[in-house]
Structure 1
């Protein structure tokens, strides 16, 4: 089986599919900062640095000999999801990308692949201006069998409370979703001393490929973390301390309680976003150390392997690549499921 990974970013979906045995021919993404990361870790896949809106439908036919109506061809369309995210308060900047699923449809229509995978935020189902109803009508018109669910990835080997819209489609026969695990993946199984993460301080810079690098913190924020209880504590612990309390949170004890909060060893982490290196952006403080998550810790919680190289030129750029990624472990499970479907259609199971 082979795939084209549209909106591939730094290669989370590509890597996971390759782990399942699928040959990912190429990945397409507009963000040039993802190129080196994608290519370093997926050397058999070609990174196409292009806006999908500028690609002609026959591009893959002419450049990669991709055939139309290929039963073993998979198209992946994990388009940017910022517009539909519940944490986005200003959608003006992301509005330009909200209909990219429509562009993905052009290529599906032209090539008629055997399989389709789509991943996005749950908001793609609930917003009244979502392009998804159009996409669903398109699948019906093309006679694809499809299923979709809102999955919590902590039940699919990813130690995060990461809820995502996930769709699988095939024109070869009925489909089903991956089976969830019985238990959640939790923080202590992935990071910490026993998992190869030495203690570091805020501002630590790791110049090796391991990139156990943490953002610097202002002295006042170090004091706030010192006063935040270990293993799950929140900013409410110092809400009555005038030297530590932030003016914007006075009288708002029930709003944004995750900000400055610590993660817990025995639970999944909060969703790893593009800002996971900032303790001011969510519950991203280390359970017991007075710092935020490092680049490698965030990547590990996204289930990237520890030797996955992140090649962007800043901590924030690498955090964007990591936070925007489809967790490779979930992608691997999708790939295994597609092979199961292939065998089912061929009558071998």
Structure 2
């Protein structure tokens, strides 16, 4: 490890989305990661296979440990005490499933996994990082079960950390996706508390820079269920029969199943839930299912169950198929050469949907470097290589332009 490099540990590391940005930044060295690799609670530990993807790309083998059970001292011992003593950076992004408003039962039931948020304080207390960062859905901060974050924040304050927590539309920072996420940044008392808003102050990105077209139009066409010969991750879910015919019947560039209404030749493809939505007048809240992405808009939020066209607006704008693993990876801000590994294509999609977008985590790495060194990076230095964001995408914001007048 370079003497100047700051050490990074990533808890709930998944397929490496949060770590990827720090790995790509020369100021940091990944020294440890941990993830139990749960696909769904019913599938058990190790099912999603994300640790192999992490190791393949980031050259660190995550510990396959259950962070809801292992104690802070034991985890530190497993990671290697020399790696974690007075650590520079701790990343921890517990599962967001129990907070997300996309799951109806979350309005009333407190998912047991939500308690992992407050439990992170034990690891902060053990490792005493100079900088701590967490990403989650906005409901972490404002939902019915925000008391879990309140407990974490209180513990962080009690340890002397300064804490900032707010939600951001990540397209504001160049992600080609409609994705709103809460970002928590905590720093030791002697460090400045800076945020992505500080990093981007005075600038924004051009609207055409965060479109589906910019991100994936250049990729070679393939058919449903096919895998491109030169890229194993440019692979799409198999569709056949009525499932394939339904997608083919939808208009290109943003079409949805409501477009099938009014024509007997296309209405035959409506499934019972679609007909119920029509009867109840719920088209707006259900129209994304089986829908196509639009070329000139950001992608919709890419969720963990993004492996099938029936789970959201995950169909290609023109080709009659589900977007590939590679396409959704790029739209999620992964470098175009990132390798997703595993025996199940569905789990590759899940690794992407669960991830912190690396296009954003690289900016967080640049922010952390600024916090630690006092040296603010130029904005063209916060671009993760081989992603859809470019140096000429930045423009002075309206507020900045008014200041200059």
TM-score of the superposition, structure 2-length normalised? 0.79
Pairwise mapping of residues 43-192 of structure 1 onto structure 2 (< 5 A)?
43=59, 45-58=60-73, 59-60=75-76, 63-70=80-87, 73-90=88-105, 95-130=111-146, 131-171=148-188, 172-179=190-197, 180=200, 181-184=204-207, 185-192=210-217
Q: Structure 1 residues 93, 202: closer, same or farther in 2, change over 3 A?
A: farther
Alignment partner, residue 269 of structure 2: 244
Alignment partner, residue 12 of structure 1: 17
Deviation of residue 207 (structure 1)? 6.1
Alignment partner, residue 202 of structure 1: 224
Q: Is the 8 A contact 1:154 1:186 kept in 2?
A: no
CA RMSD of aligned residues (A): 2.2
Q: Is the 8 A contact 2:176 2:332 kept in 1?
A: yes
Within the candidate set 358, 365, 368, 1:328 is matched to: 358
Alignment partner, residue 30 of structure 1: 36
Deviation of residue 237 (structure 1)? 0.8
Q: Is the 8 A contact 2:163 2:184 kept in 1?
A: yes
Aligned residues: 340
Mapped partners of 2:12, 2:306: distance in 1: 21
Mapped partners of 2:170, 2:206: distance in 1: 11
TM-score of the superposition, structure 1-length normalised? 0.91
Q: Is the 8 A contact 1:41 1:308 kept in 2?
A: yes
Mapped partners of 1:136, 1:345: distance in 2: 27
Deviation of residue 169 (structure 1)? 1.1
Mapped partners of 2:163, 2:224: distance in 1: 46
Encode CA deviations 1:269-290: one digit per residue, 9 max, x unaligned: 0011122231111111101111
Indicate the larger mover: 298-307 or 205-214: 205-214
Alignment partner, residue 306 of structure 1: 336
Mapped partners of 2:373, 2:9: distance in 1: 21
Indicate the larger mover: 198-207 or 109-118: 198-207
Indicate the larger mover: 59-68 or 33-42: 59-68
Encode CA deviations 1:21-53: one digit per residue, 9 max, x unaligned: 21111111011311211111011x231110113
Encode CA deviations 1:50-106: one digit per residue, 9 max, x unaligned: 011333323425724135445xx1111100010011112345999231111122110
Alignment partner, residue 393 of structure 2: none
Q: Is the 8 A contact 2:51 2:61 kept in 1?
A: no
Gaps of 5+ in 2: 1-5, 38-45, 377-405
Mapped partners of 1:126, 1:149: distance in 2: 10
Q: Structure 1 residues 15, 345: closer, same or farther in 2, change over 3 A?
A: closer
Q: Structure 1 residues 161, 330: closer, same or farther in 2, change over 3 A?
A: same
Deviation of residue 292 (structure 1)? 1.0
Deviation of residue 182 (structure 1)? 3.2
Indicate the larger mover: 5-14 or 164-173: 164-173
Is 2:12 the counterpart of 1:3? no
Alignment partner, residue 216 of structure 1: 238
Mapped partners of 1:25, 1:235: distance in 2: 48
Q: Is the 8 A contact 1:25 1:46 kept in 2?
A: no
Alignment partner, residue 273 of structure 1: 303
Instruction: Give 3-state SS (helix, strand or coil) of 1:137's partner.
Output: helix
Q: Is the 8 A contact 2:10 2:90 kept in 1?
A: yes
Mapped partners of 2:220, 2:326: distance in 1: 11
Instruction: Give 3-state SS (helix, strand or coil) of 1:167's partner.
Output: strand
Q: Is the 8 A contact 2:76 2:126 kept in 1?
A: no
Mapped partners of 1:93, 1:38: distance in 2: 32
Instruction: Give 3-state SS (helix, strand or coil) of 1:97's partner.
Output: helix
Q: Structure 1 residues 89, 54: closer, same or farther in 2, change over 3 A?
A: same
Gaps of 5+ in 1: none
